Amino acid sequence: MCGRFGLTRGPSRELADLLGVDAADLSFHRPRYNIAPTQEHFVLTSEYERRKVLPARWGLVNRGARDNSRAAQCINAMAETVQAKPSFREAFQQRRCLVPADGFYEWRGPKQSRSPVWFHAQDGGLLFFAGLYEEWYPDRGTSETTFTILTCAPNQVTGQIHNRMPVILPDPKAQEDWINPREPNPLSLKRLLIPAPDDLLRMQPASSLVNNVRNDGPELLVPDERGQTLDLFPR
């Protein structure tokens, strides 16, 4: 499962270049350290072979839905069954996207005192989650875009903490294949929905401030107690 993530970089030419979009398209973005279900973020789609920024809310709501009451239950889609589930089937066929991030959280320890862990790229780079998006109409004439993040079995790093992980597409070619709206055989794209390489991620303790969705600042990445970064694959 992926239940919280962040994109801690603010809008800049550098971020735009990394995402493959125009800097002006990111004018609304601000650094986020604790993106939670049903909150706003953005996704990347493809239009005329160019990447497009699409503001979107986390938690997929189907096009014909009467309300968004099930959004929090559709923040993730299992890669193994995404093509068959009614909630995700049509989006998998027609509306695939990338969800940009630079880290995500999982929790460890007993229920009474769970501690968050921040997973991020070894090289400090961006992560591109495989996602799906939908547009629905909460009011007549008013549309809203929503998205979900695909998950798969864990790799060796994330498997120490959780039995699922977000599908990460580190290869630019895989990213473009995933968001290609003219893909004639979407089922062939399931080859991309696999655990990330074991050397892609590292993890470090994070602050318990993450547990409250109202907290959203750089202090969330500072552990509550002094400790060393957890690195299962040191260089």
110: tokens are 């007993």
Calculate mean pLDDT across residues 61-70.
88
The pLDDT-based confidence of 100 (bands split at 50, 70, 90) is very high
On the question of pLDDT at 229 being above 70, the answer is no
pLDDT by residue (tens digit) across 136-160?
A: 998 877 899 999 999 999 999 999 9
2 is catalytic: yes
On the question of pLDDT at 2 being above 50, the answer is yes
pLDDT by residue (tens digit) across 23-64?
A: 999 999 999 999 999 999 999 999 988 999 999 999 999 988
Q: Which residue has the higher pLDDT, 134 or 142?
A: 134
| Residue-level pLDDT at 225 | 67
| Residue-level pLDDT at 110 | 83
On the question of pLDDT at 162 being above 90, the answer is yes
Percent of the chain with pLDDT over 70: 95
The residue assigned the tokens 């495989």 is: 130
* Chain mean pLDDT for the chain: 92
14 is catalytic: no
Tell me how crowded residue 226 is: count the other CB atoms within 10 A of its CB.
6
Q: Of the given ranges (35-39, 74-78, 106-110, 187-191), which has the lowest mean pLDDT? A: 106-110
From the list 2, 74, 97, 152, the catalytic residue is 2
Percent of the chain with pLDDT over 90: 84
9 secondary structure, DSSP code: P
94 secondary structure, DSSP code: H
From the list 74, 106, 134, 152, the catalytic residue is 106
Q: Of the given ranges (6-10, 178-182, 228-232), which has the lowest mean pLDDT? A: 228-232
Task: Give the list of residues 6+ apart from residue 10 with CB closer than 8 angstroms, or none.
Answer: 29, 30, 31
On the question of pLDDT at 1 being above 80, the answer is no
On the question of pLDDT at 226 being above 50, the answer is no
Q: Which domains does the chain have, with CATH numbers?
A: 5-221 (3.90.1680.10)
DSSP 16-34: HHHHTS-GGGGTT---EEE
198 secondary structure, DSSP code: T
